[in-house]
């Protein structure tokens, strides 16, 4: 037996339908799920772009390197130049990607 037994027909003009389709596509949800989500009062956000995952991975790598560098610097009182160079390389790469993608 279906959980959703009530059907509510809604009439839209062409402009409203295009807007609904655009918003639903941006969220990554089918139209019905998009409308149910709005009705229940939840905020519907756009689906993240595919390049976000790669950027987050690079930022996580940068943070990991910074944490390792800080740990070594705290333990020894100094940081190795190759660690600093690697962190600078990754940060420049991430910054370049951010500028290109946004």
Which tens digits make up the pLDDT trace of 52-100? 777 778 778 777 877 887 787 778 877 777 777 877 777 787 778 777 7
Q: Reduced to 3 states, what is the DSSP secondary structure of residue 35?
A: helix
The more confident residue out of 41 and 102 is 41
pLDDT of residue 22: 94
2 in a structural domain? no
Residue 47 predicted with pLDDT over 80: no
User: Are the C-beta atoms of residues 92 and 85 closer than 8 Å to each other?
Assistant: no
> What is the mean pLDDT of the segment spanning 39-50?
82
Give residue 21's pLDDT: 95
Q: Which domain holds residue 69?
A: 51-101
Cα-Cα end-to-end distance for the chain: 47
Does residue 91 share a domain with residue 56?
yes
Mean pLDDT of the chain: 83
Q: Is residue 14 part of a domain?
A: yes
Note whether residue 39 is domain-resident. yes
Structure token digits, residue 76: 């020894």
Give dist(CA 68, CA 25) in Å, integer.
Answer: 41
């Amino acid at each position: 037996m279906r959980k959703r037994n009530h059907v509510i027909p809604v009439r839209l003009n062409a402009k409203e339908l295009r807007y609904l389709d655009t918003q639903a596509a941006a969220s990554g949800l089918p139209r019905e799920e998009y409308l149910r989500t709005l009705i229940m009062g939840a905020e519907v956000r756009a689906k993240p772009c595919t390049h976000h995952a790669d950027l987050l991975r690079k930022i996580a790598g940068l943070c990991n390197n910074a944490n390792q560098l800080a740990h070594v610097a705290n333990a020894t009182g100094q940081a190795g130049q190759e660690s600093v160079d690697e962190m600078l390389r990754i940060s420049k790469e991430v910054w370049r990607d951010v500028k290109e993608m946004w």
